[in-house]
């Protein structure tokens, strides 16, 4: 059995009674290098070496929102274990979500570069862009019927007598790479496809309809729009970039976290294929009987790792499905 390390983090779920029901305090993430522009729990951060998690969440509350909370005031409400098909120890995580009772003082932004806003939101009507794994936990606690206590009476803590919820994310996600590849391995020149194959475009639609597409910015630009009937997550380092119909991620792990536990279709370009083929379970490849010029190539398909599951010969190209051996 291969042993691995996990990265622990502690989160503060702070609630109150609002005009139409329970509200939760969320911060809008700023220049943190991770999920920027997304709403997140009131305070959160890594558990330091040798530090108990309940002390960590109290430390984060003081550092991020200026509240003094003691470990005896917090209760563990949920544990989320997260993984990423890309692997790597930094993507293996244990997230510990705490609620707090008898909290005094007004929360304020103490790190304005890292938090752009701090706002109470109805727990039943969260903003659209909540960090996906945090939304998963908040919605679970909301749906448990009382796991966050009774804000109407001031009891906002998860009862210590209740068993904390155990959730997972990322372990049921699979990657399928979809590409059209010339005999010389070329898939494009970085700006456009080197061929026009209407039948293959229809095949791509049949393969991916209803699913989640992950692609790089160059692939998005070559398509020029969001494809109907699919979620499209675009990976780009440009933190100002937006486009209608595109969900934006600034790294592959972010994109896969956003995609959730489902089959994810990787649609290019070359660097994205290179970074994901090692974690993919399926390849859907159109082998085109051409050798175009171009600088963008598809990674080599190693027959020791990939076996053909199906082959459909067409006029000038062949559809082949590979499964990891």
pLDDT at 144: 84
Q: How many domains does one find in the chain?
A: 2
Residues 144 and 250 in one domain: no
* Spatial CA neighbour of 58 closest among 71, 45, 47, 46: 71
Percentage with pLDDT > 90 across the chain = 83
Task: State yes or no: pLDDT of 147 exceeds 80.
Answer: no
The Cα 321–Cα 65 span in angstroms is 52
For the stretch 39-68, pLDDT in tens is 999 999 999 999 999 999 999 999 999 999
Which of 122, 144, 169 finishes a domain?
169
Q: What is the mean pLDDT of residues 96-120?
A: 94
Residues 306 and 233 in one domain: yes
- 3-class secondary-structure state, position 166: strand
* Residue 245 DSSP label: T
Q: Is residue 2 part of a domain?
A: no
For residue 162, what are the contacts with CB-CB under 8 A and spacing of at least 6?
147
For residue 195, what are the contacts with CB-CB under 8 A and spacing of at least 6?
180, 288, 290, 292
Q: Is residue 73 part of a domain?
A: yes
* Spatial CA neighbour of 11 closest among 155, 146, 141: 141
pLDDT at 86: 92
Task: State yes or no: pLDDT of 178 exceeds 50.
Answer: yes
Task: State yes or no: pLDDT of 89 exceeds 80.
Answer: no
Q: Report CA 283 to chain centroid distance, whole Å.
A: 22
For the stretch 187-217, pLDDT in tens is 988 777 889 999 999 999 999 999 999 999 9
Q: Is residue 107 part of a domain?
A: yes
Which of 169, 191, 206 finishes a domain?
169
Verdict on whether the full-model pTM lies above 0.85? yes
Task: State yes or no: pLDDT of 76 exceeds 70.
Answer: yes
The Cα 224–Cα 245 span in angstroms is 11
Residues 46 and 145 in one domain: yes
| CA distances in angstroms from 289 to 185, 194, 222, 286, listed in the order given | 11, 12, 22, 10
Q: Is residue 312 part of a domain?
A: yes
Q: What is the mean pLDDT of residues 275-288?
A: 98
* CATH at 149: 3.90.79.10
Residues 139 and 86 in one domain: yes
The Cα 26–Cα 12 span in angstroms is 10
Residues 37 and 151 in one domain: yes
Residues 61 and 205 in one domain: no
Task: State yes or no: pLDDT of 131 exceeds 60.
Answer: yes
Task: State yes or no: pLDDT of 171 exceeds 80.
Answer: yes
Q: Is residue 158 part of a domain?
A: yes
Mean pLDDT for the chain overall: 92
The Cα 169–Cα 57 span in angstroms is 21
Q: Is 66 left (phi over 0), alpha (psi -120 to 50) or beta?
A: left
Residues 210 and 309 in one domain: yes
For the stretch 211-270, pLDDT in tens is 999 999 999 999 999 999 999 999 999 999 999 999 999 999 999 999 999 999 999 999
pLDDT at 193: 83
Q: Which domain holds residue 278?
A: 174-324
pLDDT at 191: 72
Banded model confidence at residue 271, pLDDT cuts 50, 70, 90: very high
Which of 142, 169, 196 finishes a domain?
169
Q: Is residue 13 part of a domain?
A: yes
Task: State yes or no: pLDDT of 73 exceeds 50.
Answer: yes
Q: Is residue 227 part of a domain?
A: yes
Residues 211 and 271 in one domain: yes
| CA distances in angstroms from 215 to 91, 170, 190, 270, listed in the order given | 20, 19, 13, 10
Percentage with pLDDT > 70 across the chain = 94
Residues 161 and 212 in one domain: no
pLDDT at 162: 64
Residues 37 and 160 in one domain: yes
Please say whether the dihedral angle defined by the alpha carbons of residues 45, 239, 37 and 78, taken in this order, is positive or negative.
negative
Q: Is residue 1 part of a domain?
A: no
Q: What is the mean pLDDT of residues 80-91?
A: 87
- 3-class secondary-structure state, position 208: helix
* CATH at 284: 3.40.430.10
Residues 139 and 159 in one domain: yes
pLDDT at 3: 75
Residues 154 and 194 in one domain: no
Q: Write down the residue that tokens 């998005």 correspond to.
A: 220
Banded model confidence at residue 145, pLDDT cuts 50, 70, 90: low
Q: Write down the residue that tokens 């994810």 correspond to.
A: 264
The Cα 305–Cα 322 span in angstroms is 10
Banded model confidence at residue 87, pLDDT cuts 50, 70, 90: confident
């Amino acid at each position: 059995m291969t042993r691995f390390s996990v990265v622990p983090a502690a989160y503060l779920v702070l609630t109150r009674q609002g005009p139409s029901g329970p509200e939760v305090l969320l911060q809008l993430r700023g220049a943190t290098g991770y999920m920027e522009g997304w709403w997140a729990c009131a305070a959160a951060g890594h558990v330091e070496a040798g530090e108990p998690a309940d002390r960590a969440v109290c430390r984060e509350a003081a550092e991020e929102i200026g509240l003094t909370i003691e470990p005896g005031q917090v209760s563990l409400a949920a544990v989320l274990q997260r993984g990423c098909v890309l692997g790597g120890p930094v993507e293996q995580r244990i997230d510990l979500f705490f609620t707090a009772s008898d909290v005094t003082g007004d929360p304020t932004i103490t790190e304005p570069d890292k938090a752009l806003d701090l706002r109470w939101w109805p727990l039943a009507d969260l903003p659209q862009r909540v960090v996906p794994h945090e939304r998963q936990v908040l919605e679970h606690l909301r749906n448990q019927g009382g796991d966050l206590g009774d804000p109407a009476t001031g009891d906002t803590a998860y009862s210590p007598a209740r068993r904390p919820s155990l959730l997972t994310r990322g372990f049921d996600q699979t990657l399928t790479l979809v590409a059209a590849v010339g005999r010389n391995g070329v898939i494009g020149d970085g700006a456009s496809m080197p061929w026009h194959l209407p039948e293959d475009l229809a095949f791509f639609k049949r393969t991916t309809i209803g699913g989640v597409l992950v692609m790089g910015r160059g692939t998005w630009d070559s398509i020029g729009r969001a494809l109907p009937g699919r979620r499209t997550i675009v990976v780009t380092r440009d933190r100002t970039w937006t486009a209608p119909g595109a969900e934006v991620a600034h790294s592959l792990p972010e994109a896969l976290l956003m995609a959730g536990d489902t089959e994810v279709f990787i649609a290019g370009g070359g660097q994205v294929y290179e970074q994901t083929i090692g974690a993919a379970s399926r390849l859907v490849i159109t082998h085109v009987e051409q050798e175009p010029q171009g600088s963008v190539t598809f990674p080599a398909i190693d027959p020791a790792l990939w076996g053909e599951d199906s082959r459909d010969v067409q006029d000038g190209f062949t559809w082949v499905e590979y499964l990891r051996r």
